[in-house]
Amino acid sequence: MKRRDLIKYLSVAPIVGGIVGSGIPFLSDAAVIAPLKRDLIKELGLRTFINAAGTYTTHTASLMDPEVMEAINSSSSQFVMISEVQDKVGEKIAELCHAEAAMVTAGCWSALVLGTAGILTGTDLKKIGQLPNVEGFEKMEMIVQKGHNYDYVHAPTNAGAKVIVIETKEELENAITEKTALMYYLNVATDLGQIKHEEWVAIAKKHQVPTMIDIAADIPPVQNLWKYNDLGFDLVCVSGGKAICGPQSAGILMGRKELIKAARLNAPPHGDNIGRGMKVNKEEILGMYAALDHYIKRDHKKEWQDWEERVALIGDEAKKVNGVTTTVTVPPIANHTPLLNIAWDISKIKITSQELQLALRNGSPSIETMQFSPNSINITVFMLRPGEEKIVAKRVHEELNKVG
Protein backbone atom coordinates (compact mmCIF):
# COMPACT_ATOMS: atom_id res chain seq x y z
CA MET A 1 0.00 0.00 0.00
CA LYS A 2 1.34 3.44 -0.90
CA ARG A 3 1.67 5.97 1.92
CA ARG A 4 -1.10 8.11 0.45
CA ASP A 5 -3.44 5.12 0.23
CA LEU A 6 -2.56 4.08 3.74
CA ILE A 7 -3.47 7.49 5.13
CA LYS A 8 -6.75 7.35 3.21
CA TYR A 9 -7.43 3.86 4.56
CA LEU A 10 -6.65 4.85 8.16
CA SER A 11 -8.88 7.90 8.00
CA VAL A 12 -11.80 5.76 6.87
CA ALA A 13 -11.23 2.68 9.02
CA PRO A 14 -12.58 3.93 12.36
CA ILE A 15 -15.99 4.66 10.86
CA VAL A 16 -16.44 1.06 9.81
CA GLY A 17 -18.31 -0.52 12.67
CA GLY A 18 -18.43 2.79 14.47
CA ILE A 19 -21.22 5.29 14.51
CA VAL A 20 -22.03 5.96 10.89
CA GLY A 21 -23.94 9.17 10.36
CA SER A 22 -22.10 11.80 12.32
CA GLY A 23 -18.93 10.23 11.01
CA ILE A 24 -17.41 10.74 14.43
CA PRO A 25 -16.67 7.46 16.13
CA PHE A 26 -17.21 8.78 19.62
CA LEU A 27 -19.62 7.43 22.17
CA SER A 28 -22.88 9.29 22.33
CA ASP A 29 -23.64 11.09 25.61
CA ALA A 30 -26.26 8.49 26.40
CA ALA A 31 -23.71 5.70 26.17
CA VAL A 32 -21.40 7.51 28.59
CA ILE A 33 -24.09 8.26 31.15
CA ALA A 34 -26.10 5.05 30.96
CA PRO A 35 -25.06 2.39 33.47
CA LEU A 36 -23.15 -0.47 31.94
CA LYS A 37 -25.55 -3.38 31.54
CA ARG A 38 -23.33 -5.64 29.58
CA ASP A 39 -21.62 -8.25 31.72
CA LEU A 40 -18.84 -9.68 29.59
CA ILE A 41 -17.75 -12.18 32.22
CA LYS A 42 -21.22 -13.74 32.03
CA GLU A 43 -21.58 -13.26 28.30
CA LEU A 44 -18.26 -14.97 27.56
CA GLY A 45 -18.83 -17.66 30.15
CA LEU A 46 -15.71 -16.87 32.14
CA ARG A 47 -15.22 -18.64 35.45
CA THR A 48 -15.11 -16.29 38.43
CA PHE A 49 -13.83 -17.46 41.80
CA ILE A 50 -13.18 -16.61 45.39
CA ASN A 51 -9.48 -15.80 45.58
CA ALA A 52 -8.06 -17.60 48.60
CA ALA A 53 -4.76 -18.08 46.75
CA GLY A 54 -3.18 -14.62 46.74
CA THR A 55 -2.11 -11.79 44.46
CA TYR A 56 -0.94 -14.03 41.63
CA THR A 57 -0.73 -12.60 38.11
CA THR A 58 -2.29 -15.88 36.89
CA HIS A 59 -5.34 -15.16 39.06
CA THR A 60 -5.55 -11.49 37.98
CA ALA A 61 -3.97 -10.62 41.34
CA SER A 62 -6.30 -8.14 43.04
CA LEU A 63 -9.57 -6.28 42.71
CA MET A 64 -9.80 -2.52 42.36
CA ASP A 65 -11.74 -0.61 45.00
CA PRO A 66 -14.54 1.81 44.00
CA GLU A 67 -12.13 4.73 44.67
CA VAL A 68 -9.87 3.39 41.93
CA MET A 69 -12.70 2.72 39.49
CA GLU A 70 -13.99 6.23 40.11
CA ALA A 71 -10.61 7.65 39.09
CA ILE A 72 -10.59 5.46 36.00
CA ASN A 73 -14.18 6.13 34.97
CA SER A 74 -14.19 9.86 35.67
CA SER A 75 -11.04 10.43 33.63
CA SER A 76 -12.03 8.25 30.70
CA SER A 77 -14.22 10.83 29.01
CA GLN A 78 -11.67 13.67 28.90
CA PHE A 79 -8.48 14.37 27.02
CA VAL A 80 -5.39 15.40 28.92
CA MET A 81 -1.72 15.41 27.98
CA ILE A 82 -0.15 12.16 29.13
CA SER A 83 3.07 13.88 30.24
CA GLU A 84 1.11 16.28 32.41
CA VAL A 85 -0.68 13.37 34.07
CA GLN A 86 2.68 11.71 34.80
CA ASP A 87 4.08 15.02 36.13
CA LYS A 88 1.23 15.63 38.55
CA VAL A 89 0.73 12.04 39.67
CA GLY A 90 4.50 11.58 39.96
CA GLU A 91 4.70 14.59 42.30
CA LYS A 92 1.88 13.25 44.47
CA ILE A 93 3.29 9.71 44.67
CA ALA A 94 6.77 11.06 45.44
CA GLU A 95 5.36 13.12 48.26
CA LEU A 96 3.42 10.18 49.71
CA CYS A 97 6.45 7.89 49.57
CA HIS A 98 9.29 10.25 50.60
CA ALA A 99 10.89 10.13 47.15
CA GLU A 100 12.28 13.01 45.09
CA ALA A 101 10.27 11.93 42.06
CA ALA A 102 8.10 9.09 40.78
CA MET A 103 6.34 7.75 37.72
CA VAL A 104 3.65 5.19 37.04
CA THR A 105 4.90 2.25 35.00
CA ALA A 106 3.31 -0.81 33.41
CA GLY A 107 3.87 -2.93 36.54
CA CYS A 108 6.95 -3.48 38.67
CA TRP A 109 8.69 -5.37 35.88
CA SER A 110 8.42 -2.32 33.67
CA ALA A 111 9.70 -0.15 36.54
CA LEU A 112 12.79 -2.38 36.68
CA VAL A 113 13.36 -2.06 32.94
CA LEU A 114 12.80 1.68 32.79
CA GLY A 115 14.79 2.35 35.96
CA THR A 116 17.74 0.41 34.56
CA ALA A 117 17.37 2.11 31.18
CA GLY A 118 17.37 5.51 32.87
CA ILE A 119 20.55 4.71 34.78
CA LEU A 120 22.28 3.39 31.65
CA THR A 121 21.35 6.26 29.34
CA GLY A 122 20.79 9.31 31.47
CA THR A 123 19.13 11.89 29.24
CA ASP A 124 21.35 11.09 26.24
CA LEU A 125 18.89 10.59 23.38
CA LYS A 126 21.44 8.75 21.27
CA LYS A 127 22.00 6.20 24.02
CA ILE A 128 18.24 5.93 24.59
CA GLY A 129 17.76 5.09 20.93
CA GLN A 130 20.49 2.47 21.10
CA LEU A 131 19.23 0.27 23.97
CA PRO A 132 19.32 -2.67 24.58
CA ASN A 133 22.62 -2.51 22.72
CA VAL A 134 25.14 -1.02 25.17
CA GLU A 135 28.11 -1.03 22.81
CA GLY A 136 30.22 2.02 23.46
CA PHE A 137 28.58 2.71 26.83
CA GLU A 138 31.08 3.48 29.54
CA LYS A 139 28.92 1.86 32.24
CA MET A 140 26.74 -1.15 31.52
CA GLU A 141 27.34 -3.65 34.34
CA MET A 142 24.83 -4.43 37.07
CA ILE A 143 26.02 -6.08 40.27
CA VAL A 144 23.69 -8.52 41.98
CA GLN A 145 24.14 -10.93 44.88
CA LYS A 146 23.98 -14.62 43.99
CA GLY A 147 20.82 -15.17 46.06
CA HIS A 148 19.14 -12.18 44.40
CA ASN A 149 19.86 -13.40 40.88
CA TYR A 150 16.33 -14.68 40.37
CA ASP A 151 13.78 -14.70 37.49
CA TYR A 152 12.99 -11.00 37.67
CA VAL A 153 16.60 -10.07 36.90
CA HIS A 154 15.45 -10.61 33.33
CA ALA A 155 13.92 -7.11 33.53
CA PRO A 156 17.14 -5.11 33.95
CA THR A 157 18.93 -7.32 31.42
CA ASN A 158 16.11 -6.54 29.01
CA ALA A 159 17.32 -2.95 29.12
CA GLY A 160 20.83 -4.09 28.26
CA ALA A 161 22.48 -4.35 31.68
CA LYS A 162 25.17 -7.05 31.99
CA VAL A 163 24.79 -9.04 35.19
CA ILE A 164 27.80 -9.47 37.46
CA VAL A 165 27.09 -11.94 40.27
CA ILE A 166 28.89 -11.64 43.61
CA GLU A 167 28.53 -13.32 46.99
CA THR A 168 30.75 -11.68 49.60
CA LYS A 169 31.43 -8.09 50.56
CA GLU A 170 34.96 -8.48 49.32
CA GLU A 171 33.76 -9.75 45.94
CA LEU A 172 31.44 -6.76 45.76
CA GLU A 173 34.22 -4.25 46.43
CA ASN A 174 36.35 -5.94 43.76
CA ALA A 175 33.49 -6.10 41.25
CA ILE A 176 32.88 -2.34 41.33
CA THR A 177 34.78 -0.81 38.43
CA GLU A 178 34.39 2.11 36.02
CA LYS A 179 31.99 -0.18 34.10
CA THR A 180 29.55 -0.52 37.00
CA ALA A 181 26.27 1.15 36.13
CA LEU A 182 24.14 0.02 39.08
CA MET A 183 23.73 -2.30 42.04
CA TYR A 184 20.45 -4.21 42.11
CA TYR A 185 18.78 -5.55 45.27
CA LEU A 186 15.89 -8.01 45.39
CA ASN A 187 14.14 -7.33 48.69
CA VAL A 188 12.29 -10.65 48.98
CA ALA A 189 15.67 -12.43 48.71
CA THR A 190 17.23 -10.48 51.59
CA ASP A 191 17.86 -13.66 53.61
CA LEU A 192 19.58 -15.27 50.63
CA GLY A 193 22.24 -12.58 50.35
CA GLN A 194 25.17 -11.88 52.66
CA ILE A 195 24.93 -8.12 52.24
CA LYS A 196 21.84 -6.40 53.64
CA HIS A 197 20.21 -3.09 52.70
CA GLU A 198 22.21 -0.59 54.77
CA GLU A 199 25.55 -2.05 53.81
CA TRP A 200 24.54 -2.40 50.15
CA VAL A 201 23.59 1.28 50.03
CA ALA A 202 26.66 2.41 51.99
CA ILE A 203 29.08 0.60 49.69
CA ALA A 204 27.27 1.92 46.63
CA LYS A 205 27.37 5.48 47.93
CA LYS A 206 31.06 5.18 48.72
CA HIS A 207 31.68 4.32 45.05
CA GLN A 208 28.94 6.63 43.72
CA VAL A 209 27.05 3.76 42.11
CA PRO A 210 23.23 4.05 41.87
CA THR A 211 21.16 1.38 43.63
CA MET A 212 17.81 -0.05 42.57
CA ILE A 213 15.57 -2.22 44.74
CA ASP A 214 12.68 -4.49 43.73
CA ILE A 215 9.98 -4.45 46.46
CA ALA A 216 7.20 -5.61 44.10
CA ALA A 217 5.03 -7.64 46.49
CA ASP A 218 6.48 -6.28 49.74
CA ILE A 219 3.60 -4.04 50.72
CA PRO A 220 2.11 -4.56 53.33
CA PRO A 221 3.46 -3.31 55.63
CA VAL A 222 2.48 0.13 54.39
CA GLN A 223 5.70 1.68 55.72
CA ASN A 224 7.65 -0.22 53.08
CA LEU A 225 6.31 2.35 50.60
CA TRP A 226 8.80 4.85 52.02
CA LYS A 227 11.26 2.71 54.00
CA TYR A 228 13.62 2.05 51.09
CA ASN A 229 13.57 5.63 49.88
CA ASP A 230 14.46 6.66 53.43
CA LEU A 231 17.26 4.07 53.48
CA GLY A 232 18.84 5.78 50.48
CA PHE A 233 18.09 3.52 47.53
CA ASP A 234 18.25 5.62 44.36
CA LEU A 235 15.37 3.78 42.68
CA VAL A 236 12.53 1.77 44.21
CA CYS A 237 10.23 -0.47 42.12
CA VAL A 238 6.75 -1.53 43.31
CA SER A 239 3.83 -3.47 41.87
CA GLY A 240 0.62 -1.47 41.75
CA GLY A 241 -1.77 -4.35 41.23
CA LYS A 242 -0.85 -6.62 44.12
CA ALA A 243 -1.90 -5.75 47.69
CA ILE A 244 -2.13 -2.02 46.88
CA CYS A 245 -5.06 -3.01 44.64
CA GLY A 246 -4.33 -0.59 41.83
CA PRO A 247 -4.68 -1.49 38.16
CA GLN A 248 -3.13 -4.93 37.59
CA SER A 249 -0.95 -3.58 34.82
CA ALA A 250 0.41 -0.62 36.79
CA GLY A 251 3.41 -0.13 39.03
CA ILE A 252 5.58 2.60 40.50
CA LEU A 253 9.15 3.67 39.86
CA MET A 254 10.36 6.24 42.35
CA GLY A 255 13.62 7.76 43.47
CA ARG A 256 16.13 10.36 42.41
CA LYS A 257 14.82 13.15 40.25
CA GLU A 258 17.35 12.94 37.45
CA LEU A 259 16.93 9.16 37.23
CA ILE A 260 13.15 9.40 36.96
CA LYS A 261 13.57 12.06 34.29
CA ALA A 262 15.88 9.70 32.38
CA ALA A 263 13.54 6.73 32.90
CA ARG A 264 10.65 8.76 31.47
CA LEU A 265 12.66 9.50 28.33
CA ASN A 266 12.94 5.73 27.89
CA ALA A 267 9.15 5.35 28.05
CA PRO A 268 6.05 6.47 26.13
CA PRO A 269 5.00 8.89 24.78
CA HIS A 270 8.56 9.04 23.41
CA GLY A 271 8.96 6.67 20.51
CA ASP A 272 12.54 5.68 19.79
CA ASN A 273 13.21 3.77 22.98
CA ILE A 274 13.05 0.43 24.72
CA GLY A 275 9.96 1.23 26.78
CA ARG A 276 7.57 2.24 24.02
CA GLY A 277 5.59 -0.98 24.44
CA MET A 278 5.14 -0.35 28.18
CA LYS A 279 2.39 2.19 27.76
CA VAL A 280 0.25 3.18 30.73
CA ASN A 281 -2.91 5.08 29.92
CA LYS A 282 -4.15 8.10 31.83
CA GLU A 283 -6.86 6.07 33.51
CA GLU A 284 -4.31 3.63 34.92
CA ILE A 285 -1.92 6.39 35.96
CA LEU A 286 -4.71 8.15 37.85
CA GLY A 287 -6.08 4.81 39.08
CA MET A 288 -2.65 3.95 40.46
CA TYR A 289 -2.50 7.21 42.37
CA ALA A 290 -6.03 6.76 43.69
CA ALA A 291 -5.19 3.21 44.80
CA LEU A 292 -2.01 4.26 46.56
CA ASP A 293 -3.67 7.17 48.30
CA HIS A 294 -6.58 4.96 49.36
CA TYR A 295 -4.26 2.16 50.46
CA ILE A 296 -2.15 4.43 52.68
CA LYS A 297 -5.28 5.80 54.36
CA ARG A 298 -6.72 2.38 55.19
CA ASP A 299 -6.97 1.27 58.82
CA HIS A 300 -4.11 -1.21 58.59
CA LYS A 301 -4.46 -2.41 62.16
CA LYS A 302 -8.12 -3.22 61.67
CA GLU A 303 -7.38 -4.88 58.36
CA TRP A 304 -4.80 -7.13 60.05
CA GLN A 305 -7.33 -8.09 62.73
CA ASP A 306 -9.82 -8.96 60.02
CA TRP A 307 -7.27 -11.21 58.35
CA GLU A 308 -6.47 -12.95 61.62
CA GLU A 309 -10.17 -13.54 62.28
CA ARG A 310 -10.64 -14.95 58.80
CA VAL A 311 -7.78 -17.45 59.03
CA ALA A 312 -8.97 -18.48 62.50
CA LEU A 313 -12.49 -19.06 61.21
CA ILE A 314 -11.37 -21.15 58.24
CA GLY A 315 -8.79 -23.05 60.29
CA ASP A 316 -11.23 -23.85 63.11
CA GLU A 317 -13.81 -25.16 60.68
CA ALA A 318 -11.26 -27.37 58.90
CA LYS A 319 -9.99 -28.76 62.21
CA LYS A 320 -13.44 -30.14 62.98
CA VAL A 321 -12.48 -32.98 60.66
CA ASN A 322 -10.49 -35.58 62.56
CA GLY A 323 -6.88 -35.69 61.33
CA VAL A 324 -6.63 -32.05 60.21
CA THR A 325 -4.00 -29.70 61.62
CA THR A 326 -3.53 -26.05 60.79
CA THR A 327 -0.71 -23.55 61.14
CA VAL A 328 -0.67 -19.82 60.56
CA THR A 329 2.56 -18.14 59.53
CA VAL A 330 3.37 -14.67 58.21
CA PRO A 331 6.03 -14.42 55.50
CA PRO A 332 8.46 -11.76 56.77
CA ILE A 333 8.93 -10.18 53.33
CA ALA A 334 6.51 -10.29 50.37
CA ASN A 335 2.85 -11.25 50.79
CA HIS A 336 3.29 -10.26 54.43
CA THR A 337 -0.18 -11.38 55.56
CA PRO A 338 -1.40 -14.35 57.62
CA LEU A 339 -0.95 -17.54 55.63
CA LEU A 340 -3.02 -20.55 56.65
CA ASN A 341 -1.69 -24.03 56.02
CA ILE A 342 -4.27 -26.81 56.27
CA ALA A 343 -2.66 -30.25 56.53
CA TRP A 344 -4.18 -33.66 57.04
CA ASP A 345 -3.24 -37.18 58.02
CA ILE A 346 -3.38 -38.99 54.72
CA SER A 347 -4.17 -42.31 56.45
CA LYS A 348 -7.38 -40.79 57.86
CA ILE A 349 -8.36 -38.39 55.10
CA LYS A 350 -8.10 -39.91 51.66
CA ILE A 351 -7.48 -36.93 49.42
CA THR A 352 -4.39 -35.36 47.87
CA SER A 353 -3.85 -31.61 47.91
CA GLN A 354 -4.27 -31.58 44.14
CA GLU A 355 -7.65 -33.31 44.43
CA LEU A 356 -8.78 -30.91 47.15
CA GLN A 357 -7.66 -27.92 45.13
CA LEU A 358 -9.61 -29.22 42.12
CA ALA A 359 -12.71 -29.98 44.19
CA LEU A 360 -12.70 -26.42 45.55
CA ARG A 361 -12.10 -25.01 42.09
CA ASN A 362 -14.88 -27.06 40.52
CA GLY A 363 -17.34 -26.46 43.35
CA SER A 364 -19.90 -23.72 43.56
CA PRO A 365 -18.80 -21.05 44.07
CA SER A 366 -15.38 -21.80 42.67
CA ILE A 367 -12.53 -21.21 45.12
CA GLU A 368 -8.84 -20.91 44.27
CA THR A 369 -6.24 -22.11 46.77
CA MET A 370 -2.60 -23.14 46.52
CA GLN A 371 -1.16 -26.64 46.93
CA PHE A 372 1.68 -26.72 49.39
CA SER A 373 2.60 -30.38 49.90
CA PRO A 374 0.93 -33.67 48.89
CA ASN A 375 -1.27 -33.46 52.00
CA SER A 376 -1.67 -29.74 52.63
CA ILE A 377 -2.93 -26.59 50.98
CA ASN A 378 -2.21 -22.91 51.59
CA ILE A 379 -4.85 -20.24 51.94
CA THR A 380 -4.45 -16.47 52.14
CA VAL A 381 -7.34 -14.22 53.08
CA PHE A 382 -6.24 -10.74 52.04
CA MET A 383 -7.92 -11.01 48.64
CA LEU A 384 -11.24 -12.26 50.06
CA ARG A 385 -14.21 -9.96 49.93
CA PRO A 386 -16.01 -9.56 53.27
CA GLY A 387 -17.98 -12.69 54.10
CA GLU A 388 -16.20 -14.96 51.65
CA GLU A 389 -14.20 -16.49 54.51
CA LYS A 390 -17.42 -18.22 55.64
CA ILE A 391 -17.88 -19.82 52.23
CA VAL A 392 -14.25 -20.93 52.11
CA ALA A 393 -14.52 -22.40 55.63
CA LYS A 394 -17.69 -24.30 54.75
CA ARG A 395 -16.36 -25.66 51.48
CA VAL A 396 -12.99 -26.78 52.84
CA HIS A 397 -14.75 -28.54 55.71
CA GLU A 398 -17.22 -30.20 53.34
CA GLU A 399 -14.57 -31.58 51.03
CA LEU A 400 -12.31 -32.86 53.82
CA ASN A 401 -15.26 -34.26 55.76
CA LYS A 402 -16.47 -36.22 52.71
CA VAL A 403 -13.31 -38.31 52.68
CA GLY A 404 -12.38 -38.04 56.36
Ligand X SMILES: *Cc1c(COP(=O)(O)O)cnc(C)c1O
Residues at the contact surface with ligand X, assessed by CB under 6 A: 57, 107-109, 152, 188, 214, 216-217, 239, 241, 251
Q: How far is the CB of 57 from ligand X (least distance, A)?
A: 5
Residue 162 and residue 178: Cα distance in Å, rounded? Answer: 14
Sign of CA dihedral 104, 107, 112, 116: negative
Q: Which is nearer to ligand X, 182 or 343 (CB)?
A: 182
Quick one: which of 381, 404, 375, 383 has its CA closest to 393?
381
Residue 404 and residue 402: Cα distance in Å, rounded? Answer: 6
Q: How far is the CB of 368 from ligand X (least distance, A)?
A: 17
If you write DSSP's letter for every residue of 155-223 in order, what string do you get? HHHHTTPEEEEE-SHHHHHHH--TTEEEEEEEGGGGGGSSS-HHHHHHHHHHTT--EEEE-TT---STT
Q: How far is the CB of 331 from ligand X (least distance, A)?
A: 12
Q: Which is nearer to ligand X, 274 or 349 (CB)?
A: 274
Give the number of other CB atoms < 10 A from CB of residue 252: 30
If you write DSSP's letter for every residue of 318-359 in order, what string do you get? HTTSTTEEEEEE--SSSS-S-EEEEEE-TTTS---HHHHHHH
Q: Which is nearer to ligand X, 111 or 209 (CB)?
A: 111
Q: Which is nearer to ligand X, 152 or 185 (CB)?
A: 152
Q: Which is nearer to ligand X, 243 or 324 (CB)?
A: 243
Quick one: which of 83, 100, 135 has its CA closest to 267?
83
Q: Which is nearer to ligand X, 220 or 251 (CB)?
A: 251
Report yes or no: 147 and 190 within 8 Å, Cβ to Cβ.
no
Q: How far is the CB of 367 from ligand X (least distance, A)?
A: 22
Q: How far is the CB of 242 from ligand X (least distance, A)?
A: 6
Q: Which is nearer to ligand X, 200 or 344 (CB)?
A: 200
Residue 318 and residue 100: Cα distance in Å, rounded? Answer: 49
End-to-end CA distance of the chain: 69
What's the Rg (C-alpha) of the chain? 24
Nearest residue to ligand X by CB is: 107
